[in-house]
Structure 1
Amino acid sequence: MPAAPAQAFARCPDRLGLYPVLPTAEWVERVVGFGVKTVQLRRKSAEPADELKREIARCVAAGREHDAQVFINDHWQAALEAGAYGVHLGQEDLHTADLSALAMAGIRLGLSTHGFYEILKALHFRPSYIALGAVFPTTTKVMPTAPQGLKRLARYVHLLDGVVPLVAIGGIDLQVLPDVLATGVGCAAVVRAVTEAADPAAAVSALQHAFAQ
């Protein structure tokens, strides 16, 4: 494995709450406008480069305007240039991203994991949070492993609580969110529960309410 940066990544709040993962800057602007404090831009393509940079700049600006924590998925170089709050990377990105540059800039790092081995690998890099997934089957991306399920999620929370902030991700919607939160995890990432909702503002409000129970 690559060496971990000499400087640990800045820590996120232990309980990040609702964490919508969104496809465009327009979505990011809408959702932080609803009062959500942690969001992620997951833009599939890096092309065209100028458009990507404009999208990321809009997301960074929206985060600052609404005092929200905006993470950029994958595109760490553009995020670094834009002064983003955070970057979310997959395991495969650990061998190519300049983690030291990100850590030195104070950018938070979230890492995807899909089981115990990848959790151990992620902990080596002292990230700002670890995402645990996929909890349930998901159609938003092809997953390398079978769904983790609630029992395994609860086991991860028991082992890692107080060590690093945790994010549950994968197939989470309003119906299953109470069961996810019952494991003790302090954050749940959602995609379709917001982006495919008939009324995104109402959907966000209902999801936020589940965290307040």
Structure 2
Amino acid sequence: MKKSLIILASTLLINGCQSEHWGYSGDESPKHWGDLHKNYSLCSSGKNQSPINLTNLIESDLAAIEFNYGTLVSDIVNNGHTVQANYAAGSSITLNGHSFDLKQFHFHTPSENHINGKSYPMEAHLVHADKAGNLAVVAVMFEQGDANSAMADLWKQIPKKAGDKHSLSSKVNASNLLPENKDYYRFNGSLTTPPCTEGVLWLVMKNSVSVSKQQIETFSNVIHHANNRPIQAINARPVLQ
């Protein structure tokens, strides 16, 4: 994949701007994404698309992810497709000696990825990029249960209208969204939104985190629709654990 396309995908994902409008229903729904713009062709023709149902898992000696989240959320934006928390520079993950900087995290309800056929009420995507623009996404599944303290701080200033952006006064560290046990699944995939760029490293946490029914409903009431792309074909991709 050309580096320029990877960098373009990173910019699109971080800034939430696309060259052609898309959505989750009607003529702009996921099944039409590939026809909306020539830059979105991978949404229909790609062979390594996300999300997937993580199944037929292959045992592997995966290296631990080193989480270095020392900075905090800078602002939170409603881009019409999700609520996205932009992250101050200086936080990263390291995997096999390779570093990816945390750029932003955002949410989907219900979950986009499934694990052994199970869908979750909410999923967070923590989006990272290395110096070349290659992307790594840490995905966290949420189960309905007790309220999540980090999400409570985020939702205090949740932007209720598309296009709204708020500076965050509450101190929110992305590490508080992660499960205590950092075991994960790994596969190669794509962005789950146009332009559906492939070459994205997916790191899906095995263990879920609790979120309350009210917190899920707060997000749903702001976005006004489900914002999950349907499951895509795994094809020949291995899913490692």
- Give the shorter-chain TM-score range: under 0.3
TM-score by length of 1: 0.28
Structure with the bigger RCO (C-alpha within 8 Å, sep 6+) is 2
Q: Which has the higher strand share?
A: 2
TM-score by length of 2: 0.26
